[in-house]
């Protein structure tokens, strides 16, 4: 059974369209996977920053009080009053 020239043209054209479609869909699928991975990484990073914001907000609220501010300055910045001596032991 011989395939006529017209049929061969349509079979070749259909095959080329199919291959092109698979190639385009494959590239799109790869991009979707990359973007999904990037979105999940950015959401994790957002959660970390939201947690830091909550911690900093709590610290800011505590630093509004003079007693805690003095304690914080002494512990983190080794500050002292003029008439006292501070010895740092690690």
Closest by CA position to 59, among listed 70, 48, 72: 72
pTM given for the model: 0.58
Alpha-carbon span 56 to 51, nearest angstrom: 9
- Provide the terminal-to-terminal Cα distance of the chain, rounded to the nearest Å: 93
Domain locations in the chain as residue ranges: 5-77
pLDDT surpassing 70 at residue 1: no
Each residue's pLDDT tens digit, 49-75: 999 999 999 999 998 988 888 888 888
């Amino acid at each position: 059974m011989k395939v006529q020239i017209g049929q061969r043209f349509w079979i070749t054209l259909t095959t080329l369209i199919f291959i092109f479609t698979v190639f385009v869909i494959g590239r799109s699928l790869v991009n979707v996977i990359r973007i999904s991975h990037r979105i999940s990484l950015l959401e994790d990073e957002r959660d970390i920053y939201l947690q830091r914001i909550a911690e900093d907000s709590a610290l800011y609220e505590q630093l509004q009080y003079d007693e805690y501010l003095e304690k914080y300055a002494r512990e983190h910045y080794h500050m002292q009053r003029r008439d006292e001596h501070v010895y740092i032991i690690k």
